[in-house]
A and B are shown apart, each in its own frame.
Chain A
Amino acid sequence: MRVDVAIIGAGPAGGMAAVTLARSGLKVVLLEKASLPREKPCGGGIPKNALKELDWDFQCVVEQKVTRIRYLNNFRMEKTYPISKPLLMVNRKKFDYELICHAGAIGKQDFSVREGFPVESIEERENSVRIKGLNGETIAADVVIATDGANSRAGRQIGLVQERAKILALDAAVEVSPKIFEEIKTTATFNISCLPQGYGWIFPKDGYLSCGVGGSLANKGLSAIFDHFIRKSFPDGGFKVIGKKIHPVPIFTGRSRLATRRLCLAGDAARLVDPVMGEGIRYALQSGSIAAKCIMDLFCGSEKNDSAEPAGARETNGLLAYSKTIHRRIGRELDLLYRFALPLFWEQPEFFYRKFFYEGFNYLETCRGLAQKMGLSAREVPHTLR
């Protein structure tokens, strides 16, 4: 099989890349190791700043609209804020599948999905990338977007992914009594520092709660920590935990190479995750879209990207400009969080909580202000310290 673009992984980054490419007329295949729709452990909150990527009506997969956010510092110093624009809660299984279905609806015969296709090996050649499945089938693609998650096999095989920092998260569905559910069904709870260098969350979904804990690898026995968190969050009992799942969350640790000529990484595979809160959906959608636009620019020259290269250079460099674009649009922001917010969150959690959750300062805005104070140019960091 020969295609223009192969996307590995059916998460938000892969799905968003597929949606964007579906409009291009390029022949695209999406490869997913599991059968679709597939389960995905995740809190499933779609931040409001991620919505601009989603320009179609996907309300059918929204399970709950959160209008209040409740913060606690290890079960103390509670503070609840109303939010003007609701935070959308989705079930990742349905949400990820919706992206693929939407791409299929737009792309029609140019877009295909190969589910149950675990990638065994990947090899970049002069004129194509050869992807070999575990079943022995080989797919040749002009370019590849690897969105195969925190442990990105494709990234490792191609040499873009080295030893990487991670945190671990555990989440599960929790059923509570109808009375309790009714009380908290529009409230998302963040319990900061209920475990060292991490936090716990309770997100309302469709008749159940998505609960989890996540933090640095120093936390031993995440399952016991989760049990304690749930017991303490619902002291009257009457809850039922269904299907605990542990998954790695990559930490962004500074600028790194995210592309070769014919392959680029997006989403968790590119470590594009808020290093403090572990939120990655927004960056996955954004990077999937950027990757797709870089490819469209490469093939069609119609889309503008940040590289501003002439057509000849574009062909020679392939996707190499993607790294630069990602760094400019996403990496700088994550770099600020990694260098200023993360040390504070890990080492001075009390201070962090008080300033950014209790007093309501935005930590990204504050980091931008700090960076500006420390001499970065105003163009790069347009916001001031509050």
Chain B
Amino acid sequence: MSHSLAGALALMQPHLDPAIVSEKVFARMVKLACLLPPIYWGGFECHLGDGPHSVDFHQGYNQVEEFEKFVHFFSARLGSGNLDIFKRLKRFRSQWALSGSRINKAVDKVSLEFDVIRADDTTRCPCMFLFLSPFISLTPTDSRLMELVQCFVSQMFDEATAKQIWGSVKNLSLITDHAAIGYLGAMTSREKRALRLVVAKLPLERLAKIINHLSPAIDSIQIDPLLSKLKDSNCAFFLNLDILCDSISPRIGIECYPKSTTERPDGWPALLRRFQDLGLCSKDQAGALIQWQGLTTPQKSKTPWPAELVSASLLKQPHEFTSFSRSLNHIKIDFSPLKRPKAKAYLEFKHGWMDLKNKSSEGADKTRNRERE
């Protein structure tokens, strides 16, 4: 028990099957979570299929105040040896808080991605993602995106890198009608710094063409059958592009979000069966991902409940009580030249106040991307 995110993470452990998060990796995550404040929106990026199952850890911030709490907490825990990281994070915080700034106007929420393998290496800045609301359209006449990107890269990268990435973005010829940017990322923890652009509203048929155009080295023999298998899956697809200093990265990702329908409120079982057929995910992993989804309540949990939530419970109405929703946000397929495609699952947990009167959960059930619908 500690006054950090580790308390909430302990509540999640019984639901994380070793097929997706091993005990060893979980222990590393706990170490990392001790450095993060008790803000109860988090998640895991879990590698599926064969091979080493590394995990990245996310924490999300709905408001600038939460992000500020993170910066203070993280810097207090790490000490003064990481000034550069905190300078960048604080610069960003100022822009987000600044009324009328491009970031303030466009950004709905923010999440940070921490590399669990390098949990002890705190000299790296976590990757940062900005979720936009509404999405910003990718049309040459709309300058909002370029203004936002310019502002973001200048906050998150050193001057030279920011200048180079900005140059690559300006030359990006992927301007497609009806597409839009759903979120942006600063991939600051990687050797090759990059800006992540996540393009929404692209029909599946155009994805193969775009991937071929941007990364000809990716074998179309691999792409075509995979995409045709997903064709009638009733999913929304988002394209991940990483803009490097001098080019667009040949590694390209496609995020899959199943849409819920009246006949099939949970689209995950069917989609995961397709992933199993494609060899991107094992049966055990698919089972573990389905099992992950649900609600953690104090009644069901045997682990101590986070203190902040106990004290807040004492002040809430009798019909409201504390709970964590656990959901599967999306699965991403990564295409890399000369390599087999790989899949990663994005699991999410979020605290909400269950309202028995209205039979809903504030926050808890609203965690999936609303925009993907």
Contact = CB atoms under 8 A, between A and B. Distances in A.
A335 B2 CA distance: 18
B3 A373 contact: no
B141 interface: no
B298 A344 contact: no
A344 B299 contact: no
A347 interface: yes
A385 interface: yes
Interface string B287-319: 000000000011101111111101101100010
Interface residues of B, number: 22
B1 A343 contact: yes
Contacts, number: 64
B314 A370 contact: yes
B311 A344 contact: yes
A366 B318 CA distance: 13
A347 B3 contact: yes
A79 interface: no
B310 A340 contact: yes
Interface residues of A, number: 23
B346 interface: no
B307 A375 contact: no
Contact of B301 (A339, A344, A366): A339
Interface in A155-177: none
A171 B299 CA distance: 37
B302 A340 contact: no
Interface string A333-376: 00100111111101110010001000000000010001101111
Nearest to A338: B304
Interface in B300-346: 301-308, 310-311, 313-314, 318, 321-322
B250 interface: no
B298 A347 contact: no
Contact of A343 (B302, B305, B321, B322): B305
* Interface of A (DSSP majority class): helix
Given A339-B301, A340-B298, A370 B1 contact: no
Contacts of B299: 371, 374-376
B173 to A, nearest CB: 53
Contacts of B308: 347-348
Given A339-B298, A375-B299, A376-B299, A370 B304 contact: no
B37 interface: no
Contacts of A335: 302
A335 to B, nearest CB: 8
Nearest to A367: B310
Contact of B314 (A254, A255, A338, A366): A366
Contacts of B321: 373-375
A36 to B, nearest CB: 39
B7 interface: yes
Interface in A51-65: none
Contacts of A341: 310
Given A339-B298, A342-B304, A375-B299, A347 B318 contact: no
A376 B297 CA distance: 11
A347 B37 CA distance: 13
B298 A374 contact: yes
A340 B297 contact: no
Contacts of A375: 297-299, 321
22 contacts: A338-B304, A339-B298, A339-B305, A340-B298, A343-B1, A343-B7, A343-B305, A343-B310, A344-B311, A347-B7, A347-B307, A348-B308, A351-B311, A370-B298, A371-B298, A371-B299, A373-B318, A374-B299, A375-B297, A375-B299, A385-B314, A385-B318
Given A335-B302, A340-B305, A374-B322, 17 more contacts: A338-B304, A339-B298, A339-B301, A339-B303, A339-B304, A339-B305, A340-B310, A343-B1, A343-B304, A343-B307, A346-B307, A347-B1, A347-B307, A373-B313, A374-B297, A374-B299, A385-B318
In the complex, the 8 A-B pairs of residues with the closest C-beta atoms, listed nearest first: A347-B307, A343-B307, A375-B299, A374-B298, A347-B3, A343-B304, A344-B307, A348-B307
